[in-house]
Amino acid sequence: MKRFWLVLLALGMLFAFSSSVFAADVKFTGSYYAAGMYIDDLSVMKDNTGKPATAFYYQRLRVNMEFIATPALKLVTRFDALERIWGGPRSGAGVVPGVPYNLRWDYDSYGTRAENENIAFDWAYIWYASKIGLWQVGIMEDGAWGTKFADNARPEGKITWLAPFGPVVVGAQIVKLAENNQTALFTTTASDQDIDKYQGFVIYNFKGGSVGLLGVFQKFHEGGFIPPLAGTATDILGGDLYILMPYLKAKFGPVAIEAEVDYAWGKMKWDNIPGASSVKIDNLQAYVDAVADLGMFYVGGTLAFIDGDKQSTRNKIEGGILSGGRDWNPCLMMFNWDRFYWAGNIFGPTAPVVGTLNNGAPMSNAYFAQLRAGVRPVADLDIMASLSWAKAVRTPALNTVFATGNPAGVSIDLGNNKEYGYEVDVTATYRITNNLSYMLGGAYWFVGDFYKGLGETQKVQDNYLLINKLTLTF
C-alpha cells in the first residue's frame, strides 16, 4: 500500500509540474519557396565589360509559431531558415558598430544575412488581449501600413497598443530603430545616439473597405544615421522627421480601388560639414491602383509619383526619404526588390560616379504608370500581362557637397533625358494544390535614355529576365 501511495504521489507531482505545459497550445504556419532566376545582362550598357548574364536557384523557409497560453494570451515567434542561393558562396557574418542601422542587418530581418542563410529568428513578442485593448510587446513587424505601396516591412523592437471602438480602430506604437548607448557589446563616448520612432494611427472600416491615417515622428539623436543623407561614414547628424500616411481601400461592385499619399517633412543637421548644418525635408509621394474583376477576365492599372531630390536647393531635400517600398514590386525587373536582393543592381554608366545610374530597389524619384490584364481559363490557372512605364521626376546629378564641405555644392548635370524605359511582364501561376503553386514569368525591359549618362553619349541596350517559383504554404 505504501508503494502505491508513493507512485500515486509521484504521478500527482508530475501532473502538477507539467500542467502549464499541457495547457499551452502550439500553432504552426509558414511558407517555403524555391525559385530560379535568369537575367540576360547585369548591365544596361552596350559593350559593357565584366557584367555577364546570371542564372541561379534560391530558396527560403519561413515558419511562424504561436504558443497559446489562453485565448487572450500568446507568444508569437517567426524564423527564416536556409535563405540562400543553391551552391552559392556564404555571405560575411559581421555586424559593424558605427555602420548605419539599416545596413547592419538583412534588410527584411532582425538578423544578418549570414544568419538567414542558416536560421534567424525575426519575431518574438507577447500578444495580450486585455480589457483595455490589445497589447503587443517585443520584436515584431514594423513598416507595413495601408496599401502595399511604400511598405518596408521588417522586424523592430516595439510596444503596440490598439483598441476597436465599433468600426473604428485606434492605436499607438513606440519603436526602437537603433540603440547606440553604451552596452557590453558597443562602446561609445556619447550618452545617446539612438533613433526612436513614435507613431499613432486610426482606421475606419466600412462595408467594402477601409480608410486610415498613420502619423509618424522619428527622432534622430546626435550621432544617429539616416540613409541616404549620410554622405560619408563619419557624418554625424540629428534631427526630427514627421510623416503622414493616409490611405483608402474600397470596392464598388467588381472594381477594387486603393490609394495612398505619403508626406514627410522635418529638419536634419550635420555637425561636421561646414555650411550644411541644417537641411529641411519636404518629400511627397502618391499612389492609386484600380482592378476590375470580371470573372474569367480582369483588368487594372496603377499610377505612382515619388518625388526626387532637387539638386539646386542645397538647403532642402525633396526626395530619398520616402520610396515605393521593398514590398511593392509592380514590375519583375525594374525596381524589383526580389531581383535586387538576389541578383543585385543592374548597372548603368560607370562615369562620372559608380552607382549613380544603377537600377536597384525600391523605386524612388519616379513617375510610374502601368496597365495590366489577366485571364483565368480554368480555376487554378492565372495568366497576367502588364505594360509599365517609368520616368525620373528630377534630373540626376553628381553633388560634391558632402565630400568638399562646400555649402554651395558642385552639381554636374548627368543629362536631360529622364526616361527609365518601358517593361513588358508576363506571368502564369498554376495552383497545383490548395497549398502548392508554381509561377513562371518573363520580363522584357526597353531601357530608356536615363542611363545614357553624362552628355548622353553612352549607348544602352535592352534587357530581359526569366523567373520560375514553386511556393508551398502551410
Domains of the chain, first to last: 21-473 (2.40.160.100)
Asked whether the predicted pLDDT for residue 404 surpasses 50, the reply is no
CA distances from 301 to 165, 304, 355 (A): 34, 10, 31
Q: Would you state the pLDDT for residue 397?
A: 55
**Residue 204 corresponds to which cell in the numbers above?**
475606419
User: Among residues 195, 192, 191, 211, which one has the least CA distance to residue 203?
Assistant: 211
Confidence of residue 151 (pLDDT cuts 50, 70, 90): very high
- Average pLDDT of 219-232? 52
Asked whether the predicted pLDDT for residue 111 surpasses 80, the reply is yes
Q: Would you state the pLDDT for residue 173?
A: 98
Confidence of residue 195 (pLDDT cuts 50, 70, 90): confident
Asked whether the predicted pLDDT for residue 251 surpasses 60, the reply is yes
CA distances from 236 to 99, 227, 317 (A): 12, 12, 17
Lowest mean pLDDT among 99-103, 303-307, 338-342: 99-103
- The single residue listed with the C-alpha cell 524605359 is 421
| Tens digit of each residue's pLDDT (9 = 90 or more) over 25-51 | 999 999 999 999 999 999 998 876 667
* Total residues found in the chain within this entry: 474
Confidence of residue 380 (pLDDT cuts 50, 70, 90): very high
DSSP letter for each residue of 395-449? --EEE-HHHH--SS--EEE--S--EEEEEEEEEEEEESSSSEEEEEEEEEEEE-G
Q: Would you state the pLDDT for residue 182?
A: 75
Name the more confident of 352 and 46: 46
Asked whether the predicted pLDDT for residue 225 surpasses 70, the reply is no
Lowest mean pLDDT among 20-29, 158-167, 407-416: 407-416
Q: Would you state the pLDDT for residue 13?
A: 40
- Average pLDDT of 352-360? 67
Go through 393-416 and write b for each residue having 16 or more CB atoms within 10 A of its CB, e for each that does not: bbbbbebebbeeebeebeeeebbe
Q: Would you state the pLDDT for residue 412?
A: 47
User: Among residues 129, 30, 145, which one has the least CA distance to residue 79?
Assistant: 30
Asked whether the predicted pLDDT for residue 241 surpasses 60, the reply is yes
For the chain, the farthest-separated pair of C-alpha atoms sits apart, in whole angstroms, at 100
Distance CA 424, CA 443 (A): 6
Q: Would you state the pLDDT for residue 331?
A: 98
Distance CA 145, CA 148 (A): 7
Could you give the percent of the chain with pLDDT greater than 70?
Answer: 78
> What are the beta bridge partners of residue 468?
36, 440
User: Among residues 401, 412, 397, 400, which one has the least CA distance to residue 450?
Assistant: 397
**Residue 360 corresponds to which cell in the numbers above?**
536597384
Confidence of residue 112 (pLDDT cuts 50, 70, 90): confident
